[in-house]
């Protein structure tokens, strides 16, 4: 390569880096958290707004290696004391460090939920269980896009020993009014999701030959579900709640070549797991 051309390219690269650094500007922002108490019709009502800031990065999946993001997390809740459930909305706004948060954010996530938590440099996990059922929505930290929903806590593990290759697993138990009509089929039990911090790698649909058994396994009130990783496989267990006997059903799905090895899964008679895509 021509020496003058090489030097010119280096100067151009240095100028671009300098320009990027020069764009960063000092800022200061203050947000107010509030609490309001009311008593109406002999009921105590409490409204709370909490605003917190968090610095995430570097090494955020899908973003420049050294970039850091400033997250502004706002949660508003409205609750009648001694009543089950609450109204809640969480907004997460992300800006690259050095950009005034008053400017248009890189992205905004707004959803009915509480407790936005950053997991590694990959995910934002928001609790959606505002009534009796615990569940979570999972978003990409790099761009705010929705990855998956799960009715068990997000499972994380590394598929390699020498370096961390983080993967995440969730189990979605579809409600009766699921927007995807395929999930309303009477034999559907759940959807197992295997993902990286940047994308969903594989979804798998769990079904049962007997619709009554499928209904019992996907019940929110009558069944408890756990997901674990051991011996290179995902272990899914569903047990019936007291006063019924547990009758625990266990499924094992191996991980091979960074994917769900569905053909090698071990399941009780009547249960099936197949590749599925939204």
Low-confidence ranges of the chain (pLDDT < 70): 1-23
* Per-residue model confidence as pLDDT tens digits over 149-206: 999 999 999 988 877 889 999 999 999 888 999 999 999 999 999 999 999 999 999 9
Indicate the helix (H) or strand (E) that contains 21: helix 3-22
pTM for the whole thing? 0.86
Q: Where are the domains of the chain?
A: 29-115, 145-278
* Per-residue model confidence as pLDDT tens digits over 229-240: 999 999 999 999
Q: What is the pLDDT of residue 182?
A: 95
As a whole number of angstroms, the distance between CA 264 and CA 109 comes to 38
3-state secondary structure 55-112: EECCCCCCCCCCCCEEEEEEEEEEEECCCCCCEEEEEEEEEECCCCCCCCCCEEEEEC
């Amino acid at each position: 390569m021509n020496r003058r051309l090489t030097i010119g390219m280096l100067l151009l690269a240095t100028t671009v880096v300098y320009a990027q650094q020069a764009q960063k500007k000092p800022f200061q922002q203050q947000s107010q958290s509030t609490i309001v108490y009311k008593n109406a019709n002999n009921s105590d009502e409490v409204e709370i707004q909490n605003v917190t800031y968090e610095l995430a990065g570097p090494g955020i999946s899908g973003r420049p290696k050294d970039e850091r993001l400033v997250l502004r997390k706002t949660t508003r809740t409205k609750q009648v004391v001694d009543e089950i459930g609450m109204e809640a909305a969480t907004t997460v706004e992300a800006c690259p460090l050095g950009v005034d948060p008053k400017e248009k954010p890189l992205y905004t996530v707004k959803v009915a939920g509480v407790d936005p938590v950053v997991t590694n440099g990959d995910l934002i996990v928001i609790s959606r269980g505002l009534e009796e059922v615990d569940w979570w929505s999972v978003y990409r930290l790099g761009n705010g896009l929705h990855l998956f929903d799960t009715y068990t806590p997000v499972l994380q593990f590394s598929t390699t020993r020498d370096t961390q290759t983080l993967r995440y697993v969730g189990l979605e138990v579809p409600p009766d009014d699921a927007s995807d009509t395929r999930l309303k089929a009477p034999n559907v039990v759940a959807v197992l999701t295997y993902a990286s911090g940047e994308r969903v790698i594989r979804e798998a649909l769990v079904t049962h030959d007997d619709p009554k058994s499928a209904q019992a396994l996907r019940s929110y009130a009558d069944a408890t579900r756990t997901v674990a990783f051991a011996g290179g496989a995902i272990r899914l267990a569903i047990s019936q709640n007291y006063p019924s006997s547990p009758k625990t059903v266990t499924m094992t799905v191996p991980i091979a070549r960074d994917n769900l090895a569905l053909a090698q899964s071990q399941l009780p008679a009547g249960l099936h797991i197949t590749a599925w895509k939204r």
